[in-house]
Amino acid sequence: MLAVETAESLIFQAVQVPDAAVDCDWVPLLEAIDRVLAQPVSSELDFPHWDNSAMDGYAVRYDDVATGQVATGQVATGQVATGQPGAITLAVVEEIPAGVAPQQTLQPGQAARIFTGAMLPLGADTIVMQENTQRQGDRVTILVPPRHLGEFVRRRGGFYQAGQPLLAAGTRLGAAEIAVLAAVQCTQVPVYQRPKVAILSTGDELVTPDQPLQPGQIVDSNQYALAALVQQSGAEVLRLGIVPDDPAALQAAMEAAIAQADIVISSGGVSVGDYDYVDGILEALGATIQIRSIAVKPGKPLTFATLPNTLYFGLPGNPVSALVTFLRFVQPALKRRSGLATGWQPNFITAKTGCDLKSDGKRESYLWGKVTFQAGELCFSPAAGGHNSGNLINLAGCNGLARIPIGATAIAAGSDTSVLLMQGIV
């Protein structure tokens, strides 16, 4: 058995990251959601595009109002009369809604009514929010002077300057990134092609969920779980179904999968039983088998092989073993193959365990359960029931896999433990 770190290194080194010159699709903006950017994006626009107001209020010249003092009286209700001692009164010469270009340049003693997002007129350099003013006709009294020059002004280029890098290649495009691309008028987006992942299940005992179950048969849940995980990882799924324990049929299915996919995932047939044919067929097909088993529990019998244009993962058939090995080894490789520049590695966090975690210490072991926030810290609670590689039932609702290092037989309740996140924290 290979050590987990050794196996991980072999797998990740074998992953060929996509080439933007070859593996790039141009897609409409809304079709780019959850895709990976293949080329860096910059803009010819400054953000903001021009000086604009962050508040509804009045655009003023700071020099006109800087010497003012807070007016005495009922400031909160806006009932201070014009001419109140300490207040400064300006002439309102223009009203500027958002989306309308100013028409005048402010002169000394003048102000412009302005609304949030509206462009500052020339001559103005500060905003006084409307709660600190009193309007009477074409005059406005500044009841509370601004604290500093430029208050409530968003300066042109203050968020981003034209020509600078905006989004880097290798960025997964979520809602915020889609908003940025829309703002820079990038309506066609260069994204990496989604890796094609073929999935097949092996075993005479397997049936699909819609078939009547006969004595001794097992429903193939792996096909569906792995397809869901592959889709969540941003790849295209090719479901090839169930293949019987027949060497000729299995070889034909594996050849077909290898011919059309960047990554092939099979479950079952990789142990040392009489009906475990996957490794032998891979060798017959000219694959280089890098890994045959890993010192991990659950999931020891895992095959990893490389072919000229395809990576092959032979996962164990037990449902929990298949999911754990996918999350630990396959998912990071798949994310890296999709073009992600960062964030593709396994996502380990530290959480405090709520009870004793036990292992035989012979392999790096994983116990599934739930990570939650409790009293301001992350806590891990293992799922109830048996932690058996065939017990798929108590895996439902879990979002983390607590790791017990090889050589350790227990982690005491209340201690910190490393947890591989499966999905978000609840």
CB 59 within 8 A of CB 152: no
pLDDT in the model for residue 426: 61
pLDDT tens profile 167-203: 999 999 999 999 999 999 999 999 999 999 999 999 9
Q: Residue 414 and residue 357: Cα distance in Å, rounded?
A: 10
pLDDT tens profile 35-94: 999 999 999 999 999 999 999 999 999 999 988 765 544 333 333 344 455 689 999 999
Q: 395 or 274: which carries more pLDDT confidence?
A: 395
pLDDT in the model for residue 275: 62
420 CB contacts (<8 Å, ≥6 apart)?
327, 328, 346, 347, 348, 366, 400, 401, 403
pLDDT tens profile 322-336: 999 999 999 999 999
Q: CA angle 230-233-239, nearest 5°?
A: 15
Q: 391 or 285: which carries more pLDDT confidence?
A: 285
pLDDT in the model for residue 265: 97
Q: Which of 39-53, 155-169, 382-396 has the lowest mean pLDDT?
A: 382-396
What domains can you pick out in the chain, each with its CATH number? 4-17+194-337 (3.40.980.10), 24-44+167-192 (3.90.105.10), 52-154 (2.170.190.11), 348-421 (2.40.340.10)
Q: 385 or 416: which carries more pLDDT confidence?
A: 416
Q: Residue 222 and residue 235: Cα distance in Å, rounded?
A: 17
